[in-house]
């Protein structure tokens, strides 16, 4: 056949929900078959969900995943299905099954196991070594998994050059962080042009704990041109007709390929070819499906969609319905409330105002405005009575001591207790509202404003919080987050006339220092060389280092930056290595 109809099934699965994942896989397989699709791809470990982590150490979990794979096989009549699962041989493998017309043709084992950042695959899997290709009619295709295509060279090189595959199908569960989408596609274009091969990249979508998967599945031709791109952060079946006959003429014009093929042949011949009987395929039985090319999102929209997706999936996949947020009238809690409404609907979001003796009239008004604008229920529970009782209870033991952060933190902990009481009584999930800037330097109260089940903007720097709030208002065409919230100086309002700038450098200075130290691992000297004052840099670095114990006790939050706290950045709490 001249054209091959390819479907990339960009689905949202849940770790451990093997039956639910299977139903979704069978549903999309049926839709693809009815659309005349020849090959349908599903993401990496889509049967188990990604990442399954220590569930992989349970033999019963592996067996259930294999049983589900067999159900996929039974449903694969007249179509080829490529699907990610956990394989069990003498060891456990991150694997792709190549199923054709109710037969398990082959199993591909992932060769490169990432063990950096949020990845921990060496803990669970054995690495594969083969580079198979598959013949379907008169064209060949190769299959590999996620990290395998990020490396220049094998297995993609062997499959495309020695195996003469015209298409490489890569199934992935590639987690999101800001700017990764475009970088990943540039890499895929490079692979396509380097080896004169069509690339079909099928990515996972949805949220899993602190990870969000952005989708953006894509088909790129042998010239590095995008033929089709799925939407970001949405489930989609991307169907594209690929002209496989164009690959051969393209290769004739590339003399590099001849030399490369000779070199690969000298290295090894471990490319195994499998022929699939293509009888019964219907590639021309339905009208041609137009390739779809979704535009990239601007950064603010990309991050906002990631936050909405991560919040929605965390709440729903963990069987919660309602969330509760402490609303202070500040920018952070306002943005979290907006994200929650977009993710869950206004009827499922409850705001709680907990004013103290230090709360300004403006903050109280802003709290009422944001709740009214978003259409959410607002409960008011003043904390003065509880705060006075605490001060009275501690008066003897604290007698003669100057007031400091102790009394400030009592207020934050009272508020945390109130939110957790509402959570216990009504089953509401508490959404914490701290941002990455605060989390980095410990400008938060343990068991106070850090309390909660999920921290929506935990990895969002304060300066980006403001940009997201502005963008949200622009999208809505009105100021749902009031202008007064966006313009007033940040403050915790735990003492008279308090401002964040009393304790921290301005956020437009703090955030670049944090990015350099936390995300880029630059030394103090290197950060100072960027133009920052020495005493400011040393102060920030010290605050980051001494706050590790706090971060270790914080709720999970959505990964947005290239290096988030938690799985991404793992530092010992007891740590005497100091740069100061």
Is there a single domain that holds both residue 304 and residue 268?
Answer: no
pTM of the model: 0.92
* Residue where one domain finishes, among candidates 245, 276, 307: 276
Residue 96: inside a domain:
yes
86 pLDDT exceeds 80? yes
Is there a single domain that holds both residue 264 and residue 331?
Answer: no
Residue 288: inside a domain:
no
Residue 512: inside a domain:
yes
Residue 555 main-chain phi, psi, to 5 deg: -70, 160
Is there a single domain that holds both residue 317 and residue 240?
Answer: no
Q: Which entry of 24, 41, 140, 146 is annotated as an active-site residue? A: 146
Is there a single domain that holds both residue 311 and residue 249?
Answer: no
Is there a single domain that holds both residue 272 and residue 308?
Answer: no
Strands 323-327 and 429-432 come out as parallel
Residue 287: inside a domain:
no
Mean pLDDT of 527-553: 94
Q: Does the annotation count 146 as an active-site position?
A: yes
List, for residues 389-437, the tens digit of each pLDDT value.
999 999 999 998 999 889 889 999 999 999 999 999 999 999 999 999 9
Provide the domain limits for residue 478: 299-551
Residue 568: inside a domain:
no
Residue 491's pLDDT band, with cuts at 50, 70 and 90, is confident
Mean pLDDT of 345-355: 97
SS3 label, residue 214: strand
CA terminus-to-terminus distance, the chain: 67
Distance CA 161, CA 262 (A): 9
Is there a single domain that holds both residue 270 and residue 306?
Answer: no
Give me the number of domains the chain comprises. 2
| Cα–Cα–Cα angle for 238, 244, 249, rounded to 5 degrees | 140
Distance CA 356, CA 371 (A): 19
pLDDT value, residue 243: 86
pLDDT value, residue 259: 64
* Residue where one domain finishes, among candidates 219, 244, 276: 276
User: Maximum Cα–Cα distance for the chain, whole Å?
Assistant: 89
Q: Does the annotation count 44 as an active-site position?
A: yes
Distance CA 217, CA 223 (A): 18
Mean pLDDT of 117-137: 91
Q: Which entry of 110, 189, 436, 539 is annotated as an active-site residue? A: 110
Is there a single domain that holds both residue 328 and residue 266?
Answer: no
Residue 287's pLDDT band, with cuts at 50, 70 and 90, is very low
Is there a single domain that holds both residue 112 and residue 22?
Answer: yes
Is there a single domain that holds both residue 236 and residue 305?
Answer: no
Residue 133: inside a domain:
yes
Identify the CATH number of the domain in which residue 184 sits.
3.60.110.10
pLDDT value, residue 267: 62
Residue 258's pLDDT band, with cuts at 50, 70 and 90, is low
pLDDT value, residue 288: 47
Is there a single domain that holds both residue 515 and residue 402?
Answer: yes
Residue 250: inside a domain:
yes
Is there a single domain that holds both residue 347 and residue 206?
Answer: no
Q: Does the annotation count 475 as an active-site position?
A: no
Mean pLDDT of 194-200: 94
SS3 label, residue 153: coil
Query: What DSSP state is assigned to residue 125?
Result: -
Residue 575: inside a domain:
no
Q: Which entry of 44, 64, 185, 438 is annotated as an active-site residue? A: 44
Identify the CATH number of the domain in which residue 483 sits.
3.40.50.620
Is there a single domain that holds both residue 60 and residue 160?
Answer: yes
């Amino acid at each position: 056949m001249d054209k091959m109809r390819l479907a990339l099934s960009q689905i949202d699965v849940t770790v451990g929900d093997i039956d639910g994942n299977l139903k979704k896989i069978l549903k999309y397989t049926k839709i693809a078959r009815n659309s005349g699709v020849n090959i349908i791809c599903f993401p990496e470990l889509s049967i188990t969900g990604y990442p399954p982590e220590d569930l992989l150490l349970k033999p019963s979990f592996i067996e259930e995943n294999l049983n589900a794979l067999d159900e996929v096989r039974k449903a694969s009549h007249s179509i080829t299905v490529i699907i990610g699962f956990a394989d069990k041989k003498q060891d456990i493998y991150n694997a792709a099954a190549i199923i054709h017309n109710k037969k398990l043709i082959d199993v591909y084992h992932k060769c490169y196991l990432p063990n950096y950042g949020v990845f921990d695959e060496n803990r669970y899997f054995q690495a594969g070594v083969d580079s198979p290709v598959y013949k379907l009619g008169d064209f060949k295709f190769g299959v590999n998994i996620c990290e395998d295509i990020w490396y220049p060279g094998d297995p993609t090189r062997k499959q495309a050059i020695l195996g003469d595959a015209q298409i490489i199908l890569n199934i992935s569960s590639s987690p999101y962080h800001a700017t990764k989408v475009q970088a990943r596609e540039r890499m895929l274009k490079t692979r396509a042009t380097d080896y004169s091969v069509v690339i079909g990249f099928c990515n996972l979508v949805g949220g899993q704990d602190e990870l969000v998967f952005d989708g953006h599945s894509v088909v790129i031709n042998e010239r590095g041109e995008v033929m089709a791109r799925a939407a970001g952060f949405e489930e989609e079946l991307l169907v594209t007709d690929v002209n496989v006959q164009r690959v051969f003429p393209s290769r004739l014009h590339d003399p590099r390929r001849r030399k490369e093929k000779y070199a690969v042949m000298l290295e090894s011949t471990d490319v195994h070819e499998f022929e699939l009987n293509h009888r019964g395929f219907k590639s021309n039985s339905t009208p041609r499906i137009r390739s779809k090319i979704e535009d990239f999102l601007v950064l603010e929209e990309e991050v906002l969609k990631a936050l909405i997706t991560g919040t929605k999936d965390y709440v729903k996949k963990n069987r919660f319905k309602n969330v509760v947020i402490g609303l202070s009238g500040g920018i952070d809690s306002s943005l979290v409330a907006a994200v929650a409404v977009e993710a869950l609907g206004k009827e499922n979001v409850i705001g709680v105002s907990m004013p103290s003796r230090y709360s300004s009239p403006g903050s109280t008004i802003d709290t009422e405005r944001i709740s009214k604008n978003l259409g959410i229920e607002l409960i008011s529970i003043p904390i003065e009575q509880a705060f006075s009782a605490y001060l009275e209870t501690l008066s003897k033991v604290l007698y003669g001591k100057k007031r400091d952060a102790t009394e400030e933190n009592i207020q934050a902990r009272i508020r945390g207790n109130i939110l957790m009481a509402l959570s216990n009584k009504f089953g509401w999930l508490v959404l914490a509202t701290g941002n990455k800037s605060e989390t980095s330097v410990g400008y938060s109260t343990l068991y106070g404003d850090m309390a909660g089940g999920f921290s929506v903007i935990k990895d969002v720097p304060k300066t980006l919080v403001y940009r997201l709030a502005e963008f949200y208002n622009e999208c809505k065409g009105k100021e749902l987050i009031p202008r007064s919230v966006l313009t007033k100086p940040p403050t915790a309002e735990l003492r008279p006339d308090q401002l964040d700038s009393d304790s921290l450098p301005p956020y437009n200075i703090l955030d670049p220092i944090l990015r350099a130290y936390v995300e880029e691992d630059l030394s103090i000297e290197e950060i100072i060389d960027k133009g920052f004052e020495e005493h400011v840099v040393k102060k920030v670095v010290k605050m980051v280092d001494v706050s590790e114990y706090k971060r270790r006790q914080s709720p999970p939050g959505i990964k947005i930056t290239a290096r988030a706290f938690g799985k991404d950045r793992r530092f010992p709490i007891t740590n005497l290595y100091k740069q100061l």
